[in-house]
Structure 1
Amino acid sequence: METVTIRAKGISVSVDCSVGHLADLAIETEERTLRPLHHAPWLDEPPESLPPGLPDGVTRLSGDFLCAPFSAADVEAAPLHGWTANSAWDLVEEAAIDAGRRARFRLRRTVMGATVEKILTLRDGHPFLYQEHAFIGGAGAIPVAHHAMTVMREGGTLSFSPKRLAATPDTALEPDPTRGRSLLAYPACTPDLTEFPAADGSTIDLTDYCMDRRHEDFVTLVEADHPGPGWTAVARRAERDVVLVLKDPATLPVTMLWISNGGRDYAPWSGRHRGVIGIEDGRTAIGHAASIGDNWLKREGIATTFELAEGRRVAIRQVIGATDAAGDPPDTVTVETGQLRLGWQGGTTRELPFADGFLKGVEN
């Protein structure tokens, strides 16, 4: 494994170049260093201790990675979540920029004939990683998603930009009780994230991450119409911080939540993958073939692929960061000139330095 670390004032990011996953994100505050990203508990174990045949993206599971396609690669042959999450990336350029640092990586393989690049930018004093993935050339339709993951020792609470609805797929992640368990009803759909139908007929609050419920679940949140940005905030109780993931809703219209809290009993998960939530912003259905075919999201008017073409560059941008904050997550997140403003009920606000044009594709 080759790890490359990029640093700016007060922030650093490390990339596991064997699979392109973000291995670590470290954000310095006045009193401590925040580490918002998850890494799998088996990463420090000998490879021979893991079950044979696992995709490299599972054996090296950490932080965030690009899925292209998201889930099953059943159009162009590749492992789960595509070669972008399972094969090597090369650092092709790293340079200082005005008040920061930027690195560009390139996937050794192509996806649907396209060259894929990962561009990571850190700004001095900004508690955010600004990342862009670009598909250059190629042909055909590709569903894409990020796979950001954070982890909580004692659970936490979540808040979101306005969502139209939340829905589970037809089949639970763990339908076999000898292998694991899921809590949510499959399929189910509701506009109220605090009362999602459960398998036992009750309801579950998706904004409350409870550590005492061992389960593996997956739910798709569809963005409502609003001026943006799209955002997810996770207030981690024990860590006393708020993890922030931001997107442009016009580019990435869905946010998929992977709730992984000891719900898989088989290796390498073995009931120990706990307190993890994936915040998976994307333009996708579940699987490549499903995304390019008829699917429920398309029937809702939601795009589920990007179109690749020779001479075309398709860019996807996302932001991950964190800030000190004990208690609840913010109720509002707004972009202003040079800053991100977090707002809580009661009038409390916090302003963080932010590249306000980044998500819209403007260089700043």
Structure 2
Amino acid sequence: MILHARGILAEWEASCGHLPRLEIGGASVLWAAPWRDDPAVQSDTAIPVVDRRLGGTFTCAPFGQDDLDGGPPHGLAANAPWQVTRSSPSSVSATRRIGRGHLTARIAVRHDHPVLYQTHTLDLDRRCTFAHHPIIHAAAGAWLSANARAILTFDAEAPFLLQGRRLTKLPTEIPTGPHEDFATLTGATGLGWTALARLAEGDTIVTLRQTDQLPVTNLWFSDGARGGMWRNARGLIGVEGAICAGAEGFAAALSDNRVAADGVPTALPPGRHVIPHAIVRIAGCHRISGVVLAPGALRLQTGVETLTVPFDETHFA
């Protein structure tokens, strides 16, 4: 299903809930796995659907391996068909049952807004973790900035970050070259934002969330350090606004864990949760230092200037 408006195009797949294609201002924003077109991979049922159809952005409920209920990695939302309930040229609404409740999505684009707007409503009957999982491609590295106060690192396959630490200085340069790493940003308040200035692509991608709902951002870095079908996965940066225990798993999120020890909630309680999220593209590489909502606009401070882009501020009302 193609969504489009002036200056923006997105493709969403009802078969698995992934949005593998997002083009803003003529530029590709998200990465989709090359093996999505490989018949051998697509017919291999030993590979979870979330990996076979890996593309762009999707939601996770729960996040990561389901070591409590035995569901697929990242939950049914990323592995099973959705039911479309309403669609138009510029928006789609869809729903599906998840392991611990029900999830409804609304995804929309607007004329002249360089923004993918998403709202997910969870009706939970038990505690659950949740995350957005946009995968951004940066062919020659990127500058990273965020309104976080700390970064927690976890044991990884081929890290470039110091492992098992709590660091108060965020990495600002994402390198190129073989690595496979994972970390969790904590301590943001208010409107949570994470920005990646993509050096080769010449633009800046900003993700937005409400920190009282999604208090952390998981960062997944993958650049050619894996074998098998992953060997051509290079320059990938997952920017995953979430409520979870980082890399510690679903069971850990409902008990003691490192993220909770940092004063951060790691699971949503039962009940209804309406969770807005946005992905924004800005032309040019910018070191973002602040993001503010204004009437009809998003204002981004770079330290030397304020950039203003059209934005529906009521999305986060």
TM-score exceeds 0.5? yes
| TM-align CA RMSD | 1.8
Matches within 5 A, 1:1-364: 4-28=1-25, 33-48=26-41, 53-95=46-88, 101-107=90-96, 109-112=97-100, 114-136=101-123, 138-161=124-147, 163-169=148-154, 172-174=155-157, 181-193=158-170, 206-211=171-176, 213-225=177-189, 228-265=190-227, 267-270=228-231, 272-285=232-245, 286-309=248-271, 313-325=272-284, 327-346=285-304, 348-359=305-316, 362=317
C-alpha separation in 2, matches of 1:49 and 1:9: 33
Runs of 4+ in 1 over 6 A off after TM superposition: none
Give TM-score, length-normalised by structure 2: 0.94
Q: Number of residues paired by the alignment?
A: 315
The CA deviation at 1:50 is: 7.6
Query: Which secondary structure state, in structure 2, belongs to the residue aligned with residue 269 of structure 1?
Result: helix
Q: Secondary structure at the match of 1:42?
A: helix
8 Å CA contact 1:129–1:321 kept in 2: the answer is yes
| SS of residue paired to 1:345 | coil
SS at match of 1:153: coil
CA contact (8 A) 1:223 1:230 kept: no
Give the distance between the partners of 2:172 and 2:34, measured in 1 at CA. 25
One-letter amino acid of the structure 2 residue matched with residue 185 of structure 1: L
Q: Which amino acid in 2 is paired with 1:94?
A: S
Q: Contact 2:36 / 2:42 at 8 angstroms: preserved in 1?
A: no
279-288 or 181-190, which deviates more = 181-190
- Distance in 2 between the 1:318 and 1:339 partners? 15
Question: Secondary structure in 2 aligned to 1:184?
Answer: coil
SS at match of 1:238: coil
Q: What is the Cα deviation at residue 49 of structure 1?
A: 7.6
Report the Cα distance in structure 1 between the residues aligned to 2:146 and 2:43, rounded to whole angstroms.
36
Q: Equivalents in 1 of 2:86, 2:42: separation in Å?
A: 35
Provide the identity percentage: 33
Give TM-score, length-normalised by structure 1. 0.82
Deviation, 1:73, is: 0.8
Deviations, residues 175-213 of structure 1 (Å, cap 9, x unaligned): xxxxxx2333331111011xxxxxxxxxxxx221221x3
Q: Distance in 1 between matches of 2:164 and 2:66?
A: 22
Q: Quick check: 2:35–2:41 contact (8 Å CA) kept in 1? A: no
Counterpart secondary structure, 2:269: strand
Larger CA Rg, structure 1 vs 2: 1
Q: By how many angstroms is 1:51 displaced?
A: 6.1
Q: Provide the rounded CA distance (Å) in 2 between the counterparts of 1:102 and 1:40.
A: 24
**Would the alpha carbon gap of residues 184 and 344 (structure 1) be closer, same or farther in structure 2, given more than 3 Å must change?**
closer
Aligned-partner SS, 1:340: strand
Is the Cα–Cα contact under 8 Å of residues 4 and 109 in structure 2 kept in the other structure? yes
Tell me which residue corresponds to 1:203.
none
| CA pair 299-48 structure 1, distance change in 2 beyond 3 A | closer
Greater helix proportion: 2
User: Structure 2 CA distance, aligned partners of 1:118 and 1:224?
Assistant: 25
Contiguous gaps of at least 5 residues in structure 2: none
One-letter identity of the residue aligned with 2:288: P
Structure 2 vs 1, CA of residues 123 and 291 (structure 1 numbering), >3 Å: closer, same or farther?
Answer: same
